[in-house]
Structure 1
C-alpha cells in the first residue's frame, strides 16, 4: 500500500485546519485544542485523542464528513478553590484530515483511560487489472 501520510517530508506539513486551530493563529487559545496522534496498524488508520476527565457518553462527539474527522468534547470545570491549574476545561475540539484510503462509514470509536481511539478501515489500493495487448504486424 502506498504511503498515506504527509510525514515523508523532512518537515511537518500542517493542513489548513491545523493552522487555524494551532497556536500560530493567534485568535484562538491553544489550550482548547485536543492533542492527537495518528498511525496505521493492522490495515487500519488510527487516531487517538487525549481527553482525560471527559464523560465519554455526555461529553464527546465524533463526526466524519467529507474526508474530515471532527472531535468535540467538553470537560466541566470543577468547583473548588484553586491556586493554580494547567488543566483544560470547557469546550475542546480538533479537526483532522483523513487520508483518502480511510473509510469513514466504517469508523469505530472507543474511550479508555482518558484516551479516545477512532479506527478506520483502509480501502485497498486498486491496481488496474493486467490485460494482454495483441501485437499485429504493420502493413
Structure 2
C-alpha cells in the first residue's frame, strides 16, 4: 500500500503546522490530549460556540459541562484497528475550556451536532442600559 501523498525522493517530510500550534510549547504537550478548534460569537441574547469535532459520535463520545462560568468540551475518538500505511488523523481525548460571558445562564445551555460541528448555545441576558442621571450633593 502506498501513501496518497507523493513526495520527491530525498525531500524530508514537513510536520503539520497546525499540529505545532495545537500542541503548544515544547515539553508542555500531553500525549493523546488534543485541542479543539472553535468559533465564538455573542448576540441576539445568546453566546454561541461552534467546535470542529469530525468523526465523533456525539451521543457516546462528547461531554459538555458548565461549572463556575467555565464551559468545557471533552470528546474522545478511538483509533480504528485496521492497518494503515500512514495517517494524519488524531485519536485520543480532545478538550477545550472557555470562560462564558458574565451573566450567562449555563444551566440553560443547549447543544446540537451536525456535519462534524458541535454548536453550543448559552442564553445571555441582554445588557440593560440605564440613562445617566445627575445626583445633587447636599451641603450638610
**TM-score (structure 2 length as normaliser):** 0.71
Q: Which residue of 1 aligns with 2:112?
A: 110
Shift in alpha-carbon separation, 1:87–1:117, aligned structure 2, 3 A = same
Q: Which residue of 1 aligns with 2:24?
A: 23
Aligned length: 118
> In structure 2, the residue corresponding to 1:79 is in which secondary structure?
coil
Q: 1:101 aligns with which of 103, 108, 115?
A: 103
| Runs of 5+ unmatched residues, structure 2 | 1-21
CA-atom RMSD, angstroms? Answer: 2.7
Q: Which residue of 2 aligns with 1:67?
A: 69
* Structure 1 residues 1-139: aligned runs within 5 Å: 23-24=24-25, 26-29=27-30, 32-127=34-129
| Runs of 5+ unmatched residues, structure 1 | 1-20
Post-superposition offset of 1:126: 3.6
Q: Point out the structure with max Rg over C-alpha.
A: 2
Distance 2:122 2:94 in 1: 22
Post-superposition offset of 1:28: 1.6
Distance 1:116 1:129 in 2: 39
**TM-score (structure 1 length as normaliser):** 0.71
Could you list the runs of 4 or more consecutive aligned residues of structure 1 that deviate by over 4 angstroms after TM superposition? Answer: 127-136
> In structure 2, the residue corresponding to 1:27 is in which secondary structure?
coil
